Amino acid sequence: MKRYAFFPGCLIPARHPAMEFAIRSTLPKLGIEIVDLEGASCCPDPIYFKSKDKLDWLAVAARNLTLAEDLGLDIFTNCSGCTATLSETYHLLQDEELRDRINRRLARIDREYRGTSRVRHIATLVRDEVGYDAVRESVERPLEGLKVAIHYGCHLLKPSRIMQVDNPDDPQVLERLIEALGATPVRHANWYLCCGKACDGEEIPNQMMHDLLATVHDEKADVLGMICPTCFGQFDHGQMKIAKLFDEDFHTPPIYYFQLLAFAQGVPYEKLGFERQRFKPLALQRYEEVAAE
């Protein structure tokens, strides 16, 4: 087993425990041992907290990174926002002057940032340390014929020099991870569009979400596969709001990749918390019936 420190952040453990459950259920089957980080705080939030004071943001993020350094482990994240904060901090603190300044703050609590723990998003951890073939081998019920529209979200991919996840103009990682489950990924026309959650106000995000959901809807996909809990909120209760606002029949259920993986690995549908979603991925149930026969 390869050991990694797990940085769960706020949104997934507090709002979407089903996603955390899916991660804890799937990774050990792929040879990853999850080590919990005691005393971790919010990453902190790369939108509003960062917009208040970048130095405070770096100081809190650096403290979180030192928790993994204490364990001598690399970190993996399950939220694109946490990945952005922690990866940017790792990148920015390669500057000695800035690192010294942040370390003078950390000295107040007897901590020191050393830059020894790498930050990996869970999707790249699986791609690079497990591999698509091992994911395929872990699947107990292949999702043959399941059409999965793909939404990457912004912060997983950009800025690519810092995130080091994939080519933001033609990313592959989610498509390949979906294919490893036997399902069929679909790139809809507005695949690159932002979910709008981090934009203050109503007008811009509403229009953006409408256009994005319209091309998702055009594909008639069974589900919308995604990897970011913030985007997830936009596509679940947000989809209901947009459908009402624009009088459209949008209804593609969003699904977090690791819940889909857990299902393909054999975790029963009713254990995966889908009843809490506004749009439930009922298309999955046909694979349970096949398995039961």
Partner 1 sequence: MSASDGRDEVVRVDFAFKRELAQKVEGDLANFCYQCGACVGDCPATRYSPAFNPREIMLKVLYGLESELLGPDSVLWQCTNCYGCHERCPQEVKPVEVIISLKNMLADRGLAPPAADKVIQTFMAQGRTVPDNPAIDKQRAKFDLPPMGAVPMDEILALLEPEVEEENGS
Residue closer to partner 1 (CB basis): 134 or 198: 198
In the numeric block, which tokens belong to residue 93? 């603190």
Q: Where are the alpha helices (DSSP H) in the chain?
A: 11-15, 17-26, 48-52, 54-71, 80-92, 96-106, 122-125, 132-138, 160-163, 173-179, 203-218, 229-235, 237-246, 257-264, 285-292
- Rounded-to-integer distance, Cα 42 and Cα 10, Å: 6
What's the min distance (Å) between Cβ of 132 and partner 1? 26
What's the min distance (Å) between Cβ of 33 and partner 1? 17
Q: Is 170 in the site for partner 1 (CB under 8 A)?
A: no
Q: Which residues ranging from 193 to 212 are in contact with partner 1 (CB under 8 A)?
A: 193-194, 196, 198-201, 203-205, 207-208
Alpha carbon dihedral 97, 99, 101, 107, in 10-degree steps, equals -140
Q: Which residues ranging from 59 to 78 are in contact with partner 1 (CB under 8 A)?
A: 59-60, 63
Q: Is 56 in the site for partner 1 (CB under 8 A)?
A: yes
Per CB under 8 A, the segment of 92-100, 134-142, 170-178, 249-257 that binds partner 1 is 92-100
CA distances from 30 to 73, 127, 290 (A): 18, 11, 24
Q: Is 267 in the site for partner 1 (CB under 8 A)?
A: no
Residue of 91, 39, 98 lying closest to 64 (CA atoms):
39
What's the min distance (Å) between Cβ of 167 and partner 1? 10
* DSSP category for residue 127: I
By CB atoms closer than 10 A (0-12, 13-18, 19+), residue 252 is buried
Q: Is 189 in the site for partner 1 (CB under 8 A)?
A: no
What's the min distance (Å) between Cβ of 281 and partner 1? 17
Per CB under 8 A, the segment of 35-43, 142-150, 177-185, 216-224 that binds partner 1 is 35-43
Per CB under 8 A, the segment of 7-15, 68-76, 131-139, 181-189 that binds partner 1 is 7-15
Sign (positive or negative) of CA dihedral 223, 224, 228, 234: negative
Q: Is 160 in the site for partner 1 (CB under 8 A)?
A: yes
Q: Which residues ranging from 97 to 156 are in contact with partner 1 (CB under 8 A)?
A: 97-98, 100-101, 104-106, 108-109, 111, 154-155
* DSSP category for residue 253: P
Binding residues for partner 1, total number by CB under 8 A: 63
Q: Is 159 in the site for partner 1 (CB under 8 A)?
A: yes
Residue closer to partner 1 (CB basis): 144 or 160: 160
Q: Is 233 in the site for partner 1 (CB under 8 A)?
A: no
What's the min distance (Å) between Cβ of 34 and partner 1? 12
For residue 241, the tally of other CB atoms under 10 A from its CB is 14
Angle at 41 between CA 229 and CA 32, to 5 degrees: 65
Q: Where are the alpha helices (DSSP H) in 247-281?
A: 257-264
Residue of 152, 158, 151 lying closest to 88 (CA atoms):
158
Which residues are at the interface with partner 1 (CB under 8 A)? Answer: 10-11, 13-15, 17-18, 20-21, 24, 38-42, 44-56, 58-60, 63, 84, 92, 97-98, 100-101, 104-106, 108-109, 111, 154-155, 158-160, 168, 193-194, 196, 198-201, 203-205, 207-208, 273
